[in-house]
A and B are shown apart, each in its own frame.
Chain A
Amino acid sequence: MPQLSDFHLFLVITLLKIVVVLVITLTAVAYTVLLERKVIGRIQNRWGPSRVGPFGLLQPLADGIKLFLKEDLMPLAVERPLFVISPMIALACALVSIAVVPFGAVHTVHGVDIFQIADINIGLLVILGITSIGVYGIALSGWSSNNKYSLLGSLRASAQVISYELALGLSLVGVVLRAGSLRLRDIVDSQSAHGLLSWNIIGGLQIVGFFIYLMAAYAETNRAPFDLPEAESELVAGYHTEYSSMKFAMFFMAEYANMITVSCVATLLFFGGATSPFGHMFDATGPAWLSMVMPVFWFVFKVFCFLFLYIWVRSTLPRFRYDQLMAFGWKFLLPLAMLNIIATSLALAYHG
């Protein structure tokens, strides 16, 4: 086998990383759907899917096959190019943000960090930027469907996403102030000193920021209790009313991939990312492979907790009214986020 040059090695490992992460993310998306149906089922005192495979574990596969084999309807009055491209925009934007997420401790193979696809010094801004592009998928799908329910849904969605993006961005400023960097690795490192106690949500006193982030993230991903864009009782299915088959599946996957991204960001920014809640207490024990796998385990565990919280909230809270949603975002979350920034910067200036 001929010796590969550094650049080729980098290229091969990076492509491999992308493929692996993509496969894992898509599988996670499929199983988040199952998790949601199961958990909501239990909360509503029923079983949830249980027929396909043991405990219904093969249900995502059955769903996938069903969606693939369905007829792909193309309504006559749609704007064809935009109608086709908007689910792709939605899904692509949902998946791309995973690229900057570090999901393990630094571990290099041939000089390439294998637990993060791209280590960018403006990682947080990249995530915010991609999230803000994602709204085009929803806005265009509603407009190009040429259907008033879809249009109303997408108008609601774009207004909601733009409004809550402000609160979302401002809630992260406190964390960035503490870390002094926008690089996600630096932000994680700034919380790794004493485990649980130095996480931003506890040691950093960013619990207000976390609360704002959580609310804004629910609104950004159009999930309950802020799922106005797809409110079944008012808008049929909102922006994806006219979609069927794989195009519908893309929107569906985009929603769950967005949930996963948002959970990853919350984990990184407020819960110490891939660091253990016990700090460096158990670092010395165990074999070498354990110290490589444990960070990934903690990361996945934290993300799982977030997804569970998402589902729990969905099955518990009723939907907001639209004016309540806007008032909550603009009159409560935004001022609160600004106060949080002022308080954090004053505290930082006082201490250091």
Chain B
Amino acid sequence: MALALFIIFGVLCVAGALNLLFQRHPINSALSLVVVMMALAVIYWTLGAEFLAAAQVIVYSGAIMVLFTFVIMLLNAGEEERTTGSKAAYFVGIPGVAGIIALLTYIFLHEKAALGYARLGGSLDTATSNISEISRVLFTDLLLPFEVTSILILVAILGAVVLARREQ
């Protein structure tokens, strides 16, 4: 059951990511990225991170990717044309990426037993819910980083407004 879920959504993830790579039109790429994010949300849930699963859907697919599609629609971005500048990327990039996958896969499979197994929906502690645990740590031990993030967001809002405003 857990393995079936993992395989279905893992394959969906990889297929979505590959589609992002192969589609020419940015809006198709954006939609395949949405598929990847939704599938990842399910995988988070199988790992017992239900709050992150919800946050992934709301923040990533519901806000960030909508913003992307919005900008694509706003700028009316067409199909991308392949130019010569990407030649080097093909020759160096693809073997390099294949190397990274091979190396990481080898390491992870080698350490498979040491890494252990995942329990389906296995929350960290069944008695307390995932969300209350996260919020307890977030608002006690990690209060300062949390507050700093809010300042970061404020700066980002101001920056976005200044950048996107039409020159007077």
Please report A residues at the B interface, Cβ cutoff 8 Å.
82, 121-122, 125-126, 128-133, 135-136, 139-140, 142-143, 151, 154-155, 158-159, 161-162, 165, 169, 181-182
Contact = CB atoms under 8 A, between A and B. Distances in A.
Contact of B54 (A129, A135, A158, A159): A129
Contacts of B73: 139, 142-143, 151, 154-155, 158
B58 A129 contact: yes
Nearest to A183: B129
A118 to B, nearest CB: 13
Contact of B58 (A121, A125, A140, A154): A125
A136 B50 contact: no
Contacts of B74: 155
A82 B131 CA distance: 36
A185 to B, nearest CB: 13
B70 A128 contact: no
Interface centre among A129, A132, A133, A139 (most CB of B within 10 A): A129
Contacts of A125: 51, 54-55, 58
What 3 A-B pairs have minimum CB-CB distances, sorted nearest first?
A132-B62, A125-B54, A129-B57
Given A122-B51, A129-B54, A154-B73, A136 B34 contact: yes
Interface residues of B, number: 22
Interface of B: 27, 31, 34, 38, 50-51, 53-55, 57-58, 61-63, 66-67, 69-70, 73-74, 129, 131
B61 A132 contact: yes
A128 B69 contact: no
B18 to A, nearest CB: 17
Contacts, number: 72
A335 to B, nearest CB: 14
Where chain A touches its partner, the secondary structure class is helix
Contacts of A128: 54, 58, 62
A345 B131 CA distance: 18
B27 A82 contact: yes
B57 A139 contact: no
Nearest to A142: B73
A329 B34 CA distance: 26
Given A82-B27, A125-B58, A182-B131, A132 B63 contact: yes
Given A133-B61, A140-B69, 8 more contacts: A139-B70, A140-B27, A140-B31, A143-B69, A155-B73, A158-B70, A158-B73, A162-B66
